[in-house]
Amino acid sequence: MTNPIVNLFAFLSLLLFVHCDGSDPAIPEDHRFYETMMVDGRARTYLLNLPPDYYKTNEDLPLVIGLHGTGGNAGQFERDYGLTEKANSAGFIVVYPEGIRSNGVLGVRTWNAGRCCDFAMKNNIDDVLFIRTLIDKLVSTFRVDAKRVYVTGMSNGGMMAYRLACEMPEKIAAIAAVSSTMVVASPCHPSRPVPVLHMHSVLDAKVPYNGGKGIGGYYFPPVDSVLGAWSAANGCAVRDEIRNDDDRFKLTEWLNCTDDVMIQYYLTRDGGHAWPGGQRSGNWGDTPSTVINATDLLWEFFKQFEAQ
């Protein structure tokens, strides 16, 4: 018989994926919108930020989708990782969708990334449909360049980014996953190559970079095997070439891939289960790496690519 105390501990441990902030932002400004849309019979929410010069030009702009981790929400992602500040300075649109709330007391938000996590996975929430519908809505409503739509995510959000790259690569120009891995329930056979940026810490015990049992008792595949699978899917001729390896971080690249895509993998020696260069998410959150800045790196990576 399962020990209820152990179950409770595992459930509460899930909150360490990202600090749980139950308050949803209310944004009245004309450049920022917190909105609800119905998808698959469920109310889904998201926070959208337009850069300061959005209404001054007629140019179609890139869109970056930021997916929070378990226990996070749109406001938490924006507050802790600095993506809105980057969007405002670089001139792209950013949207923070929110995972579905659990029906428990804490209302923890999660994404159904395949074999993780929690309420969204157990209830087979169609988060792929949600993000697909959201992209279509934003492209039709705002000046979004449909060929420059990118997805990034922290922890469970990064796992969701991998699933999206597998199942709807025609909508996504590139992904950046942080402190996560790929946990899709079905084999990943993307219809086109997808550039991948992955950032992780050797000290991450919640989603171990070398695989194994992590937070909540989930099994997480090794990052190397995930990127090896993407190397094969992307047809990369140059595989796991080490570009930097010192006491700060190791950078591995997969190059000469189909359609000029590439894969980059930053493995830091410091930090933990956290967004490098960001803020610590809550009192129990891990200390972020200081040797790289995930927000800066992901934008430099994204802007090289357009969807084919």
Residue 179 has pLDDT above 80, yes or no: yes
- List residues bridging with 254 in a β-sheet: 263
More confident residue, 183 or 282: 183
| pLDDT for the residue numbered 6 | 41
Residue 7 has pLDDT above 70, yes or no: no
282 pLDDT band, cuts 50/70/90, is confident
Cis preceding linkage at 117, omega within 30: yes
Q: Are the beta carbons of 208 and 267 closer than 8 angstroms? A: no
Flag whether 308 is in a domain. no
| pLDDT for the residue numbered 308 | 79
Flag whether 307 is in a domain. no
* Tens-place pLDDT, residues 125-167: 999 999 999 999 999 999 999 999 999 999 999 999 999 999 9
Residue 15 has pLDDT above 70, yes or no: no
Q: Are the beta carbons of 92 and 66 closer than 8 angstroms? A: no
Residue 292 has pLDDT above 60, yes or no: yes
* CA-wise closest residue to 282 among 12, 2, 20: 20
Distance (Å, whole) CA 306 – CA 261 = 10
| CATH number of domain containing 145 | 3.40.50.1820
* Tens-place pLDDT, residues 90-107: 999 999 999 999 998 889
Residue 272 has pLDDT above 80, yes or no: yes
Distance from first CA to last CA of the chain, Å, rounded?
Answer: 52
- Which residue is it, tokens 């441990």? 13
* Tens-place pLDDT, residues 236-260: 999 999 999 999 999 999 999 999 9
pTM of this structure: 0.92
281 pLDDT band, cuts 50/70/90, is confident
Flag whether 62 is in a domain. yes
For residue 281, give its domain range: 4-302
User: What mean pLDDT comes out for the span 273-301?
Assistant: 94
More confident residue, 278 or 12: 278
* Tens-place pLDDT, residues 27-65: 336 899 999 999 999 999 999 999 999 999 899 999 999
Six-digit token string for 44? 């889904």
Instruction: Provide the number of structural domains found in the chain.
Output: 1
Residue 25 has pLDDT above 80, yes or no: no
| pLDDT for the residue numbered 29 | 60
User: What mean pLDDT comes out for the span 2-15?
Assistant: 44
| pLDDT for the residue numbered 4 | 43
> What is the chain's mean pLDDT, rounded?
91
Distance (Å, whole) CA 34 – CA 290 = 31
Distance (Å, whole) CA 226 – CA 182 = 6
